[in-house]
């Protein structure tokens, strides 16, 4: 396990200006390795996110017998199809990556061997019944630790999985994707009905790698026994990573930040809608609307923000951005209400409690509710000792918050968590503060 580190954060900054090219999209980086591994032929991936979570996915598939070359400019996956996946010689450690463990379970469900998958202390607390129950319904045998729903999870796969009709009890792209990966290996046609629309990178990649899937509103239909062909991919920048700089540019005086090659898949752009609803100055240029390459340049500048309500179908489109949106709301005039976001409780940490506690430490006026939070603006922030709880998005949010602090210092415990999705984050922040 990595050592824990604390660091003094940059504080009291204005005039943030410059251009940032954020790292590759984490969701797409994970899935590009997975589809490359189950496809036949080479998959070449450019702008892959070389951060801890995605490297965990590479390591997992290497343990399953897939050759993956990490070159300076690209990742090359030498896929040999589903049947080339082999039983690993030992349990697979996926570190802090919830995406890896849940989607991998869907792939392992249709293989004729048994695999144990585990992760760090955060993963050990994340609920897996939401994935295990539908996979077991299809004919796999998934079990958590000592009869619980928590990792380590052992997946005993089956080559005779059966298609199911599955109505999703939660709005979760990870659960949906796990069922899709299992359905691709099953007999018959699987139907999935979503509660709310969630990010659809898996559906796009099924088509991109030569598969067939039908999406009609919230209903997805997918035939089993599909085969894939290796592809060339360029991963767009991660909007979840760009979000921290969008907020910095909006809330810090005399600032303008340009973010290049930001992924703009409509199932992920909830934060842009929220920024516009809060009167934020944001423009999008250089837009590419080609399927699988939805991206553009996002420019933000200092704005007079107003509070808003964030709820309902919007939540799955910005679930990972809610910590930084909470900070944005502390600098808006009036009250912001976030609700229908109970899913935040089962992320890398309980993000509702973490956001409320740490921003309160810095002087924000913010209250937790059962399914979200209520934030009062416009609040000056002050110094304090804060922690990421080992959650990358909490750590990055606190650095952006610290930039507003004019009195006192901000010390961040467990700063190493940021490398999960953005290894050069602190350097990129510093580059805007010259």
Active site positions, annotated: 320
d(CA 31, CA 103) in angstroms, rounded, equals: 9
Determine how many CB atoms are found less than 10 A away from the CB of residue 367.
Answer: 11
Q: Are 203 and 212 in contact (CB under 8 A)?
A: no
**Can you tell me whether residue 51 is helix, strand or coil?**
coil
Q: Are 17 and 256 in contact (CB under 8 A)?
A: yes
User: Is the N-terminal amide bond of 329 cis, ω within 30° of 0?
Assistant: no
Cα within 13 Å of Cα(70), Cβ side? 10
Output the CA angle 226-235-19, nearest 5 degrees. 165
d(CA 280, CA 38) in angstroms, rounded, equals: 43
Q: Tell the residue number behind the tokens 């599955």, with chain if given.
A: 166
Q: In 170-300, which ranges are continuous DSSP H helix?
A: 173-183, 201-208, 239-251, 270-277
211 is in an annotated binding site: no
347 is in an annotated binding site: yes
d(CA 100, CA 113) in angstroms, rounded, equals: 18
Distances (CA, A) of 262 to 37, 271, 289, 299: 26, 13, 12, 10
**Can you tell me whether residue 94 is helix, strand or coil?**
coil
Tokens of 380: 């000056």
**Can you tell me whether residue 23 is helix, strand or coil?**
coil
- Could you tell me how far CA 50 lies from the centroid of its own chain? 14
174 is in an annotated binding site: yes
317 is in an annotated binding site: no
Q: Are 21 and 49 in contact (CB under 8 A)?
A: no
Q: What angle do the packed helices 425-432 and 239-251 form, to 10 degrees?
A: 30
d(CA 368, CA 167) in angstroms, rounded, equals: 30
Q: Are 188 and 308 in contact (CB under 8 A)?
A: no
H or E segment and range at residue 310: strand 309-310
Q: Are 141 and 112 in contact (CB under 8 A)?
A: no
393 is in an annotated binding site: yes
44 is in an annotated binding site: no
126 is in an annotated binding site: yes
Q: Are 34 and 230 in contact (CB under 8 A)?
A: no
Determine how many CB atoms are found less than 10 A away from the CB of residue 72.
Answer: 4
H or E segment and range at residue 189: strand 189-193
Q: Which residue positions form the known binding site for 3-phosphoshikimate?
A: 26-27, 31, 172, 174, 320, 347
Q: Which residue positions form the known binding site for phosphoenolpyruvate?
A: 26, 98, 126, 174, 351, 393
Q: Which residue positions form the known binding site?
A: 26-27, 31, 98, 126, 172, 174, 320, 347, 351, 393
């Amino acid at each position: 396990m990595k050592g824990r580190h604390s660091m003094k954060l940059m504080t009291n900054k204005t005039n943030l200006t410059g251009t940032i090219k954020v790292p590759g999209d984490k969701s797409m980086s994970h899935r590009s390795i997975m589809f490359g591994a189950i496809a036949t032929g080479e998959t070449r991936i450019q702008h892959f996110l070389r951060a801890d979570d995605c490297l965990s996915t590479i390591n997992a598939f290497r343990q399953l017998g897939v050759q993956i070359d990490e070159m300076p400019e690209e990742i090359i996956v030498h896929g040999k199809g589903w049947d080339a996946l082999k039983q690993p010689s030992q349990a697979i450690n996926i570190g802090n990556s919830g995406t890896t463990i849940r989607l991998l379970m869907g792939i392992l469900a249709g293989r004729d061997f048994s695999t144990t998958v585990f992760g760090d202390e955060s993963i050990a607390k994340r609920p897996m019944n939401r994935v295990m129950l539908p996979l077991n319904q299809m004919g796999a045998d998934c079990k958590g630790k000592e009869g619980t729903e928590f990792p380590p999870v052992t997946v005993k796969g089956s080559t005779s999985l059966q298609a199911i009709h599955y109505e999703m009890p939660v709005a979760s792209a990870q659960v949906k994707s796990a069922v899709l990966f299992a359905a691709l290996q099953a007999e018959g046609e699987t139907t999935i009905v979503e509660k709310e629309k969630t990010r659809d990178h898996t559906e796009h990649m099924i088509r991109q790698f030569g598969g067939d899937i039908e999406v009609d509103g919230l209903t997805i239909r997918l035939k089993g026994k599909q085969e894939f062909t290796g592809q060339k991919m360029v991963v767009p920048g991660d909007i979840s990573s760009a979000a921290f700089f969008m907020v910095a540019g909006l809330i810090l005086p005399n600032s303008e930040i340009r973010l290049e090659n930001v992924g703009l898949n409509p199932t992920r752009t909830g934060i842009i809608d929220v920024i516009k609803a809060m009167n934020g100055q944001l423009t999008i240029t250089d837009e590419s609307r080609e399927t699988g390459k939805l991206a553009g340049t996002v420019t933000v500048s200092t704005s007079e923000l107003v509070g808003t309500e964030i709820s309902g179908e919007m939540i799955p489109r910005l679930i990972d951005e809610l910590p930084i949106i909470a900070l944005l709301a502390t600098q808006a005039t009036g009250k912001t209400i976030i609700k229908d976001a109970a899913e935040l409780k089962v992320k890398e940490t309980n993000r509702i409690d973490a956001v409320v506690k740490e921003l309160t430490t810095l002087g924000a006026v913010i209250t937790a509710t059962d399914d979200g939070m209520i934030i009062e603006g416009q609040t000056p922030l002050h110094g304090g000792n804060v922690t990421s709880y080992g959650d990358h998005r909490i750590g990055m949010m606190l650095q952006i918050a610290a930039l507003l602090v004019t009195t006192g210092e901000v010390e961040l415990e467990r700063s190493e968590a940021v490398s999960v999705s953005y290894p050069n984050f602190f350097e990129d922040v510093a580059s805007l503060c010259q």
